[in-house]
Amino acid sequence: MSHVIEFSANGHPVDSRGNVAELPAELVEAARTARNVEVFTGAGMSKDSGLDTFRDAQTGIWSRVDPQAMASLSSWARDPEPILAWYLWRGTLCRRAEPNLGHRAIASWWGRSGVDLHITTQNIDDLHERAFDDHNEARPRIAHLHGSLFSYRCSICHKPARTPELPQEQVERATPTACSLCGNPVRPGVVWFGEPLPEKEWDQAETSMQQADLVVIVGTSGVVWPAAGLPNIVAERGVPIVEVSPQRSDLTDLATWSLRTTAAIGLPAIVQALGEE
């Protein structure tokens, strides 16, 4: 059973009486001694940066757009222009957002001596990458299981293509460029419904889960498969798992500790508890 750690409204862990407390010593020790850290993130990771989560009932992207219309090969084949316009605008909004304190805490953790950190994300933004750029650090391995807003390819031959220029204002339609190899339309490099996950990224994620001596799950509901099955690899090995989520998720029961807070609060709390090197 997961040990749930509540947080106060002002971002501090609290005990059962609501008094400010420290993170459990066992959690801090597990994080301090971990040498292979796997960070597994979902849409909640980027929510504190102002990017909507896909499954939020009030503000989620998919609550305003028919997901089948914007994320399927059949819709792209019928009329790619509104789909391309929608993804280009998502790219614009992403570039206007900034990595939050959670992204930056992960970058700081990576910079600690002796720590090999890997990130597996279900997000299609580039906030993880930009957090490391801001710290002037070399990036760890980052596996984008669902692709990226900034990775385009031919819709037929899959030849990589340059990301189109991002718009300053939202438009209803945008004409895809033609593939330089076969002439077919260039599409966003994201995983649509019914498509397999990218093999290279999946293999990286599986390997990291198998090698990790600590896993940190951040901002994911645990309902999107097959990605949601990855933490089971770790749970079966008895490796400590820390979840950071404002609400209970489908992965909470796998966690050793579940921090009831956001990425921008929970991750800095963990890294701060590690102390100075």
Helix (H, G, I), strand (E, B) or coil at 243: strand
State yes or no: is 146 an active-site residue: yes
Distance CA 223, CA 95 (A): 27
Distance CA 213, CA 239 (A): 6
Catalytic pick among 3, 135, 146, 158? 146
User: Length of the chain, please?
Assistant: 277
**126-162 burial, b for 16+ CB within 10 Å, e for fewer?**
bbbbbbbeebeeeebebbbbbbbbbbbbbbeeeeebe
Distance CA 230, CA 30 (A): 20
Q: Is the peptide bond prior to 226 cis by the omega test (within 30 degrees of 0)?
A: yes
Distance CA 122, CA 119 (A): 10
Start-to-end CA span in the chain (Å): 32
Strand order in the sheet with 257-260: 3-6, 257-260, 241-244, 214-218, 36-41, 116-121, 141-144
DSSP conformational letter for 8: -
Tell me which residues are annotated as active site: 146
